[in-house]
């Protein structure tokens, strides 16, 4: 009886892990990468924003980087620093778009937010 309980518990845990893989990938895109500049090329930048996020050709986004602030306590603090603007030139798919740099700099791992 005890071994059946253990096998059943392990089966439920394994099933939970397997089915959560797709959810983890979705969460990674929606919360961690969304709005991030993935690549900077000579022709522009690729953004982790696509049609599923409401991105459209012609939209302008402000570009930000995070700068560490030296503090007195042990925990680091950061501030956002605007570095430029980009304009979407092509929607690649539901997750990604291509943009051209309008002003300033836009580097890999910087973030973008819709310019209002």
Separation of alpha carbons 10 and 46, rounded Å: 42
Task: Tell me which residue of 59, 57, 67, 77 sits closest to 113, measured CA to CA.
Answer: 59
Q: Which domains does the chain have, with CATH numbers?
A: 1-33 (no CATH), 35-114 (2.40.10.410)
Q: Please, which residues have CB within 8 angstroms of residue 40's CB and are 6 or more apart in sequence? A: 106, 107, 108
pLDDT of residue 42: 82
pLDDT of residue 16: 54
- How far is the first Cα of the chain from the last one, in angstroms, to the nearest whole number? 63
pLDDT of residue 37: 93
pLDDT of residue 68: 85
Q: Give the total residue count for the chain.
A: 116
pLDDT of residue 110: 94
- Given a cut of 70, the residues of the chain with pLDDT beneath it are 1-33, 71-72
Q: Please, which residues have CB within 8 angstroms of residue 41's CB and are 6 or more apart in sequence? A: none
pTM of the predicted protein model: 0.68
Separation of alpha carbons 33 and 96, rounded Å: 11
What's the distance, CA 14 to chain centroid? Answer: 28
pLDDT of residue 72: 67
pLDDT in tens, 12-37: 665 555 544 444 444 444 444 478 99
């Amino acid at each position: 009886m005890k071994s059946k309980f253990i096998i059943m518990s392990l089966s439920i845990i394994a099933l939970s892990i397997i089915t959560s893989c797709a959810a983890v990938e979705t969460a990674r895109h929606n919360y961690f990468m969304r709005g991030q500049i993935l690549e900077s090329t000579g022709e522009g930048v690729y953004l982790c924003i696509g049609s599923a996020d409401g991105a459209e050709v012609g939209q302008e986004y402000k570009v930000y980087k995070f700068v560490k602030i030296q503090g007195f306590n042990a925990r680091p603090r950061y501030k956002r620093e605007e570095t430029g603007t980009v304009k979407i030139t092509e929607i690649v798919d539901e997750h990604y778009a291509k943009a051209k740099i309008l002003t300033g700099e836009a580097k890999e791992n910087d973030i973008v937010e819709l310019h209002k």
